[in-house]
Structure 1
């Protein structure tokens, strides 16, 4: 009897050890696939996923998470959501937290800010050690103007984990409030520790260019270009090379040599594999084919064929491109403009769907004291694939021929040209400038409150004739609902001068 029990126990131990080995081998494969996703080699990731053998429900859920990550990477949010939801009903808390993070990011991209915040908080409550849900939460809060809450989350993260994802998120925060120097500083400090991190180099290249530091911008971007060459990512190679050539058309006329660049980048790739964050997936939005030297905001009209913005944004532009809030890019040309009212209408080379356009029947005259929100791409717009909002009231309407109104909704540099809506979703103005607080302080000795300048919506007829006599039913929205409703209609304007 003793001998029989001993053999049974020995068999159970052996069986357990085999299962542990198999589980470790499976997780090793999962990490390998995650690494391929992280460096944008989705073809290799999919091929590996097809070959992986699933032994139980938890392993199947981990595979679902990876498919969700892949679809999120290519901005296919509906498919991504399907796979994250499949993994959500797992009994494994760790996998559940990853599915919640994925769903939170899906909702953020879809503009469903309230749902993104709720899902992020759920993920944090299950797994407080994950970085991604905290960054997603901070990003969602920033998008709806809750900047103080956002920076508190990010600063706490940065004090404990100075990762690339955290540094990039803080940089994004500073950009959103037009503090480019602070955004560069946070990324430069990170690069002192990890000088070849591709995402950080990519972001700082754009910031350097906006500061007029072309040599630094190209130096950083060239490393990104070499990285994509090593990965044989043809799409990224083309877009990155186009970016460099738009800054310096003769740059590739002579052989470009950077000492040990290949060795350094290969080292970066290995480090990325080792330190891959469970959810460090950033959805791909369509790239501009040139390096923007200026940006602004705008909104789609005319059945999707036109975009309205400020004239001063595009006045001297040699190239103009537009990307809407869902990531679709189209080149554009000035169709009409008014210097007097600082308005321009752009004709799109590839029109957007008609449903993305703001119908002229939803243009309304502004009213003093009305609650309004300003939507646009703050800062320089390089890292902000989606817009942010600020909220305030209409504080003054000038009755003269200038067509100007004042609002307490903060208008940052990149917000120029963006729409101002009342809470019924009616367009009441177009942002064009913010109050020079430093100038007022130096002149009066007093710090003024936030004040933005906008063109009244009825001035749009100067460049875009329309008839809005059709009355529509009035329904009030909260700012999160308005954000979601207007997301596809808001445009980032990129120019090369």
Structure 2
């Protein structure tokens, strides 16, 4: 056992970390803290110990203590990307708790530079942008957070009880926050290419009166919008996969009155991308035709590794984002 390993070798920090992990599985947070504190005495700058201790202090509602150990861990310049992203996301959560929203945003963005899909970093960005009154960014990041917390839920069967409980908590909070944000900032889920959220109606009190049942109302088809950009002279368009997911009909246009039917060619769900193709170029607007003619013929294929492949990009290379999910409501310019 790990206790026996510690008895034989009292300075074995890995044994202390493993033992604290067992107590965390059992929900014995204070015991885990005691063990991690001993490990810290042996190796004050051990990054794994500091990172785990920061989480424990957070769970014990001691944000100032969590702040100290996480900032100490960060100052040691962790070389493992996964550990660095974890420290940054947890530190951002502490900053948000202490109402240091600018620090929370800055630190969360650093975490996303390492792992763009990090659900906790997106969750903290959503909360922090909301605190600063930026509803658009608050909703956008909370949508991403909820999506990836849902992905984590699929792996709950293999997760330890401690992780499972926390991920369930964050998933519930992200769903609740999204509802609040939509109402607060006067947006609809459809504005972000998301399915509508159905409110559960409150049942009226039961009465003895018998009413004639009415036939169910016919549901109207739902529609949504999203951004995309042309990538070939043949009329190929790249957009997000979630924008066209489960769509029976897809149209493309640069304004609401000039829409051209399009075909879904392929999807890259790992990067949330979809490749579309216009059914005809004759119906496209003059602006779209002018843009398409300047493009090449070759399209980068949606390979098994996705459209974004390591051999195609260089670290530090500038990225240009074209398109905007609100279309004509705000702007048609490049962001």
TM value normalised by structure 1: 0.28
Higher RCO, Cα 8 Å, sep 6+: 1
Whose strand proportion is higher, 1 or 2?
A: 1
TM value normalised by structure 2: 0.40
